[in-house]
């Protein structure tokens, strides 16, 4: 029988405790992403609603072509996009930042 003389790196350890810890961290990162995304969606909704509603009242083209459904679609599309972009970036940035911290702590 051949012996396995390769030392496991900290990234390759898969004990039950480390898997539970990874799951807890993933849940926390997801929650942070949801909160950041929701805040971004609210800001984007307000920032989009004001000029959209103002243009419908002031511009003849917008008054003629943008009914209530179109206005709601414009505002909700921007809000949805802001939510998903910010949530995704937040989760990835948090995970990246904490993975670098974990690597530096494992080396010490």
Global pTM value: 0.73
Give whole-number Cα distances, 40 to 20, 23, 83, in Å: 30, 26, 6
Q: Where are the domains of the chain?
A: 29-107
DSSP type of residue 2: -
The pLDDT tens digits along the chain (108 residues) read: 555 555 555 555 567 778 888 888 889 989 999 999 999 999 999 999 999 999 999 999 999 999 999 999 999 999 999 999 999 999 999 888 877 776 666 654
- C-alpha angle with apex 17: 30 to 95, nearest 5 degrees? 30
Distance CA(88)–CA(23), nearest Å, equals: 17
């Amino acid at each position: 029988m051949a012996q396995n003389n390769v030392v496991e790196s900290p990234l390759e350890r898969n004990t039950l405790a480390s898997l539970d810890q990874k799951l807890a961290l993933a849940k926390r990162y997801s929650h942070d992403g949801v909160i950041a995304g929701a805040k971004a969606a609210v800001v984007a909704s307000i920032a989009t609603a004001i000029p959209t509603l103002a243009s419908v009242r002031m511009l003849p083209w917008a008054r003629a072509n943008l009914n209530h459904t179109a206005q709601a679609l414009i505002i909700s599309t921007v809000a949805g996009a802001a939510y998903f972009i910010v949530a995704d970036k937040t989760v990835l940035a948090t995970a990246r930042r904490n993975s670098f911290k974990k690597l530096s702590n494992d080396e010490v």
